[in-house]
A and B are shown apart, each in its own frame.
Chain A
Amino acid sequence: MFLSIDTALIIEKLILIVVVVSISLVVAMYTTFAERKVAAVIQDRRGPNRAGPFGLLQPLADGLKLFFKEEIIPNFSSKFLFILGPALAMLTAVMTSAVIPWGDKLHLFGRDISLQIADVNIGILYVFGVVSLGVYGIMIGAWASNNKYSLLGGLRAASQIISYELAMGISLISLLMVTGSLSLKEMVVQQQTGLWNIIYQPLGFLIFLICSFAECNRTPFDLPEAENELIGGYHTEYSSMKLGFYLFSEYINMFVSSVIMATLFFGGYDMPFVNEANLSTNVAAIVGVVALMMKVVFFLFLFMWVRWTIPRFRYDQLMHLGWRILIPLALFNMLVTGAVILFLDR
């Protein structure tokens, strides 16, 4: 045979990929709804409540609206790159979910099905690589728009993401010193038996959290789309579903970074105070997925809470925070972690 891989494995992985991607999309869809509701609660309003019971059909109505809007491609823009921009933004947002362990294994039809699409031994670096590519969607779209506001938004996005990637990478190094593994699955297993990594790396987590806000272009770091300075920022010229892709990829990014934070620092699919070894395989897997989702919902709420509480930074403040505060702090954290590990001889 041309391919010597087990056919059942391919089918299993395909189903898993479809399920994971559709769950990310649905969660992102309802995150937009949740964001509007949270904003409403914080600002003492009611929020969307017309479409369906409690406004639950609002995301569908929004999506339909975007689909039926007129498509406008500016006259002077590079057409191929103009379309490539939002497509890349969406692609990089969804790609990250491939290495995330969503739960332990299920036992169905006499097979053990791992709830992780690919357990590569460089898992966390893969996530980091895809995240660092995410900026291309914004930059290419911004440049192809041939509009000065878009271009300024794209340039801001690029310099912001590069600056915060450094601190994020260094804070990850100290985490990797503790775990001694790059595989996300391995990290979760370690946290299931031992303590959660947040105990060992509180400062590292704080730096990682701030940097992921910046990487997702969320307030207070949403300079690339600062409405009062740049109209719409990098997506000024976009309309219809292409605009929808940009807005939507931001929510998928939020979802994925919540999952990553939960996995790296908060035990992933580990349910606290429950010993998974005592449960049957399937029950343990379901409990794990529920635990992970609870942590994710908390982080998503944190993203929204911060957005509607803290005002946007000025650009020099953003750079100052990134280069003068977060990077030295991350380096300090790395040194202390290394020294402690050497001292305790773990």
Chain B
Amino acid sequence: MNITTLLFIILSVVAAFAGIMMITSKNPVHSILWLIVVFFAISGHYIMLNAQFLAIVNIIVYAGAIMVLFLFVVMLMNLNADTEPVKNYRLRLIGVISGGSLLLVLLAALMDIDKQQLVQMNVGDAGLIKELGKNLFTNYVLPFEISSVLFLSAMIGAVIIGKKQ
């Protein structure tokens, strides 16, 4: 077992454990903190794929900004286990079915993987900022621009909702 495998196992165990804890925690603030741990573990995976830029952007955007907003909202609403509405039986059943079917789809996709085309660790420059920028502005310029329009419309929508009061 070399160090790459060891790191991979450690990061995966951390990610999976934190993910489970995030779902099972009663307290929403604890859930958010566990989710942040998941993001860190996934950033570790990115670094092992030599995608440092993706790793750090994942931390800045998800752990550093979006999760702060989540935490902000949860703290402001002061949610805790007592005030949480008890979901009825039918809703829970629907949740289990939809979650289970998503799991099935993911598993099916994993079964289909060609074992010969596994990712190369520590090599490749697809995740470095230079390659990423070149690809985004040449090969994938149309999807990139379309997604920017999507973000713009989301921003305008947020401003309009905020202005209503």
Contact = CB atoms under 8 A, between A and B. Distances in A.
A3 B3 contact: yes
Interface string A70-101: 00000000000100000000000000000000
Contacts of A162: 65, 68-69
B59 A129 contact: yes
B75 interface: yes
Contact of B71 (A2, A121, A139, A165): A139
A136 interface: yes
Contacts of B33: 81, 140
Interface stretch (B10-18, B50-58, B89-97, B100-108): B50-58
Chain B contact surface mostly: helix
Contacts of B52: 120-122
Contact of A182 (B60, B65, B75, B129): B129
A158 B60 CA distance: 14
Contact of A125 (B56, B63, B65, B76): B56
Interface-centre pick from B53, B68, B69, B75 (highest chain A CB count, 10 A): B68
Interface in B13-72: 29, 33, 36, 52-53, 56-57, 59-60, 63-65, 68-69, 71-72
Contacts, number: 61
B56 A129 contact: yes
Interface string B111-146: 000000000000000001100000000000000000
A139 B75 contact: yes
Interface in A141-166: 143, 151, 154-155, 158-159, 161-162, 165
B129 A158 contact: no
B60 A128 contact: yes
B151 to A, nearest CB: 14
B71 to A, nearest CB: 6
Interface residues of B, number: 21
Contact of A165 (B3, B65, B129): B65
Contacts of A132: 59-60, 63-65, 68
Interface in A107-149: 120-122, 125-126, 128-129, 132-133, 135-136, 139-140, 143
Given A2-B3, A132-B60, A165-B65, A159 B72 contact: yes
Interface residues of A, number: 26
Interface-centre pick from B3, B36, B57, B75 (highest chain A CB count, 10 A): B75
A158 B65 contact: no
Interface string A1-25: 0110000000000000000000000
Across the A-B interface, give the 9 residue pairs with the lowest CB-CB distance, nearest first: A132-B64, A129-B59, A125-B56, A129-B60, A158-B72, A129-B56, A122-B52, A158-B68, A122-B56
8 contacts: A122-B53, A125-B53, A125-B60, A126-B56, A128-B60, A136-B71, A139-B75, A151-B75
